[in-house]
Amino acid sequence: MPSTVRPDLCEVSLRVIAAGQAASGAFVASPTFSQYRFAWLRDGAFIAEALDLVGELGRAARFHAWVAGIVLGSADGLERAIVKARSGEVPSTDEYLHCRYGIDGSRSEGQWHTFQLDGPGIWLWAVAHHARHGGHLDDAVHDAVRLTARYLAATWPLPCADAWEESPEHVHTSTLAAIRAGLDAAVVLAPDLAGETEVGGTRAAISARLATSDGPYTKWQGSHSVDASLLWMVAPYGSVAVSEPRFAATLARIEDELIDADGGLHRYREDTFYGGGAWPVLAAAYGRVLLRRRAPGDLERAHAALRWIEAQADARGLLPEQVAGCAFAPRHIDEWRQRWGESARPLLWSHAAYLALHAELETLGRG
């Protein structure tokens, strides 16, 4: 069943992303939301992946060059972070890679859980994705890949905030999955890393850590909550097969607990951020997982996910971070609106996620 594609939403999405890319190559998360006028490694890596899928390699390359500049400019601190992490010590703020930066590469100020390890992992994965799609990687990017891989190989067991900037006291399953995907990508880009105990051993250790439990993957070891960010293990990382029993059980719980009747997808059941609404980036990830599962009806459901995202666009075609129509905790919506205003719109990551799902559906249609 073909989707009723809003004719201009791909074009609008590309314009929004282009307008949100600074001269430095960084992507601002949202130009209109006070807390998101920074560039996240995570958001930017997913945006770069979508740009690769639609042939915008130049913009993706500029982002990767910007991240490489940050990594190499932070080399002394990262080397200290590696030493500390090997002793189980959390590096200081002037040593680790931050989750977000100013568009000029400066560390962001303000109260934020800046120590996050998923972003560098997703960036490594996105660099390899860029290379597979014909992107050129210069020496600086290669050097930054090697340093980032060593940094993640040392820091991976440390607690840090998750993909949602929350719960920094835990080691998160989705973060471990992002690090493993990044290290797998790094050894493709620099094959000699696979033979180093530091990197090769870490890949095995993370795989062992992820395999320590039966049943579905959860937010962290000991948690009973399932998190929709775990979809990324299959799409886009491709580091777990959609039929793998633990992922299949995870997907079943996500479908049972986190999807609204109208097709919106929430982060996790206990979410209270802006009421715990539904996120376009997660609807897109779900659609992409369905395209890999290909059970009866999955193609139609993937098209439905695309249509749900399209329905969230405003009259200008701008997509939000989340929508509160079926919020899990509606009593919390006003407190966030009073603190920061309405939920971010546009969110560049939402537009990128739409482009990625649209591109995969279009490719299937041509096949």
Q: Which residues are catalytic, by number?
A: 162, 165, 321
Give the contacts of 237 (CB within 8 A, at least 6 positions apart): 125, 177, 178, 181
H/E element, 101: strand 100-101
User: Cα(127)–Cα(146) distance, rounded to whole angstroms?
Assistant: 12
Give the contacts of 271 (CB within 8 A, at least 6 positions apart): 328, 329
Q: Is the dihedral of CA 101, 164, 305, 336 positive or negative?
A: negative
**274, 190, 288: which is closest to 237 by C-alpha?**
288
H/E element, 100: strand 100-101
**254, 259, 208: which is closest to 231 by C-alpha?**
254
User: What are 286's two structure tokens?
Assistant: 């779900």
Give the contacts of 4 (CB within 8 A, at least 6 positions apart): 307, 310
Residues found in the chain: 367
H/E element, 175: helix 173-189
Place of tokens 């992002």: 178
Question: Would you give the end-to-end CA distance of the chain in angstroms?
Answer: 15
User: Cα(324)–Cα(331) distance, rounded to whole angstroms?
Assistant: 11
Give the contacts of 100 (CB within 8 A, at least 6 positions apart): 29, 38, 39, 40, 41, 108, 112, 114
